[in-house]
Structure 1
């Protein structure tokens, strides 16, 4: 047991050192030193000269929530006749890492995985004090992608992992990597230019279920949109714990897990998460400017951390959005896709109209880069989508049965007509 604890401490320290070494955040600032401080939720980075503390050690409660996420069974739905893959997240991570590190002769990629991280909404859920819903499970595999062949090897490793995860009894003779890609992969992205070398493979094709997004990163200049989604949790020490320990995680026996905020200051970002505050840096560096995510946070009752500065940020967001999506059809496609992916639950469906009207207000007040007719065209598009959403919502309400009405201390039930099944009047005998 003592050996296991030592291994966990060493893995966490190595992860923290790797995170801190040579890894500047999006605005170019370097990481602080790699001191791993003790105590749940304590700071793990202590750079000199008031450097921002990017790293922190997770508390027991946070590690417990992380363990629950890793133990969660995810369903990767296949198209057509392909079966649904039911697998624990921790097992999926282990299988993919094994495929990446296996020799090419045995069907692997022959790559070294520097570390594995949980990112995005799931990481925020682990760190938040209140329940934080999340739509996807985002995982980052730090690998070297020096050329086009490396991207192909990563794709082959993921498809090979899916092949290995097929349920028993499924005939594998006619299943090819191409058919696996069509069945289980919903999105593939490859970025290979100056300062950015990474790829994304999104697994799952069923709306309303959590997709698993596997990101393979050599380098990425911009790793976050807002401070509340800037958290990355290094999983290596937890995965080592799973391998070595036969005992479950408990309050007195759990691995040391390190978290990082690529926004810069971990405690500041955590404060923003707990208080539902909106903060970012250089939104002009974000694809789409972070405009749609910003309005999504607003409709979820987040507030700007600096109200005096938010109008300036809004102008940058709008400018970058219209640079990336200059054509009205591109804007329509982006908006419809965002609504489809981010407003899934019935509670969120009801927020669509409010979201679009918020977006309309921001674009109307903060867009300075468009010609007059282009601006009107975009505003008309947003209003059209908003009215369509409102019409759908009213249609849904009209088709629902009326609820109980309460007045003057009494509940009144709606009159529900009941068709008479009698063929004729009954004879009355006196």
Structure 2
């Protein structure tokens, strides 16, 4: 489940689970504080509209009661097949089945970008990209509380809820979240290398936790991205999809994001031939100018150098760059350059 604009873990200090229990592992788990449990309860009970043809039940009903009936009252369910529901509500469906990963995902549409994603996992080798998105919350105790308790939740009466960081160190990951720091491990294990998410974090004012390590990590991110998306057409589809899904209502940030991505690819790509890298950089540049055109915005040209290429006939020795009357001696201007020249 993805509630992209919400940070469930927001307040209070985390209470460490006793490390005497070897089953829990050292540092991976924490008991959520009351403020965190209360925020989690607010998120689960908040009605998140899913935009389509009809109403949609609350997030609490979907997650806690596993309701499969998304139709509003009064609609004949007999006439509504799976394809109709898919067209009305589902933004994307993903199914992965290989030697290490077996999982599926259904993303339900929301025009404001707060998509509800339901992920069903049998096995998943890599369960996070960066430390700040590595948190998982075990809802069993909360589900049991909703089912059995006759009293409202309060600071003195609420279930113990267990949180886990798949990053491996809950305290460190929590500190990264509060400090808006970027940290990951072995990005070559992530599909796409985490490159697009990394640039997204940079645009949102996150900074690398370790400047010494980040350049090495960037090279791994770029290498894995181009392994997974080797063709220019695949890269274009992926970038357009990412912009469409992750910048809803934030059109002004798309240009900054593409500039950031251009810089990382330009500086940290070591796995491509020179002409391949230039093609990818050209694609990112074209997308950036398309974004500006869609916004009817003129880019800042303070640090831009304009180049032009002389016409082919300019290299002809018989070509005169100036028109002179025939009564005067003919003077031939011979340009000696054969490449792009600066306008300045």
Q: Deviations over 1:106-128 (max 9, x none)?
A: xxxxxxxxxxxxxxxxxxxxxxx
Aligned-partner SS, 2:78: coil
- 1:158 alignment counterpart: none
Shift of 1:269: 0.2
Match of 1:215 among 119, 125, 128: 119
- 1:174 alignment counterpart: 79
Match of 1:94 among 53, 59, 64: 64
Aligned-partner SS, 2:212: coil
- 2:152 alignment counterpart: 248
Query: Which whole-Å CA distance do the structure 2 matches of 1:40 and 1:76 have between them?
Result: 34
Distance 1:40 1:228, change over 3 A: closer
Distance 1:381 1:396, change over 3 A: closer
Aligned-partner SS, 2:79: coil
- 1:364 alignment counterpart: 266
Larger radius of gyration: 2
- 2:98 alignment counterpart: 193
Question: Is the 1:45–1:54 Cα contact (8 Å) retained in structure 2?
Answer: no
> 2:213 matched to 1:303?
no
- 1:382 alignment counterpart: 284
> 2:140 matched to 1:236?
yes
- 2:55 alignment counterpart: 84
Q: Any gaps of 5 or more consecutive residues in structure 2?
A: 1-11, 300-344
Question: Is the 1:42–1:58 Cα contact (8 Å) retained in structure 2?
Answer: yes
Shift of 1:395: 4.6
Question: Is the 1:325–1:331 Cα contact (8 Å) retained in structure 2?
Answer: yes
Shift of 1:393: 3.1
Shift of 1:183: 2.2
> 2:108 matched to 1:203?
yes
Shift of 1:45: 5.2
Question: Is the 2:203–2:256 Cα contact (8 Å) retained in structure 1?
Answer: yes
- 2:247 alignment counterpart: 343
Distance 1:88 1:396, change over 3 A: farther
> 2:73 matched to 1:165?
no
Query: Which whole-Å CA distance do the structure 2 matches of 1:75 and 1:170 have between them?
Result: 18
Match of 1:325 among 210, 223, 229: 229
Answer with 290-299 or 349-358: which moved more: 349-358
Query: Which whole-Å CA distance do the structure 2 matches of 1:177 and 1:353 have between them?
Result: 38
- 2:316 alignment counterpart: none
Distance 1:178 1:95, change over 3 A: farther
Q: Deviations over 1:267-288 (max 9, x none)?
A: 0000000011100000000000
Shift of 1:65: 0.4
Distance 1:321 1:92, change over 3 A: same
Aligned-partner SS, 1:351: helix
- 1:425 alignment counterpart: none
Question: Is the 2:113–2:248 Cα contact (8 Å) retained in structure 1?
Answer: no
> 2:239 matched to 1:266?
no
Question: Is the 1:289–1:319 Cα contact (8 Å) retained in structure 2?
Answer: yes
Greater RCO, 1 or 2 (C-alpha within 8 Å, sep 6+)? 1
Query: Which whole-Å CA distance do the structure 1 matches of 2:261 and 2:241 have between them?
Result: 15
> CA-atom RMSD, angstroms?
1.9
Shift of 1:89: 1.4
Shift of 1:40: 6.5
Query: Which whole-Å CA distance do the structure 1 matches of 2:297 and 2:222 have between them?
Result: 33
Aligned-partner SS, 1:274: helix
Q: TM-score, normalised by structure 2?
A: 0.79
Query: Which whole-Å CA distance do the structure 2 matches of 1:396 and 1:69 have between them?
Result: 40
Q: Any gaps of 5 or more consecutive residues in structure 1?
A: 1-38, 97-160, 398-430
- 2:318 alignment counterpart: none
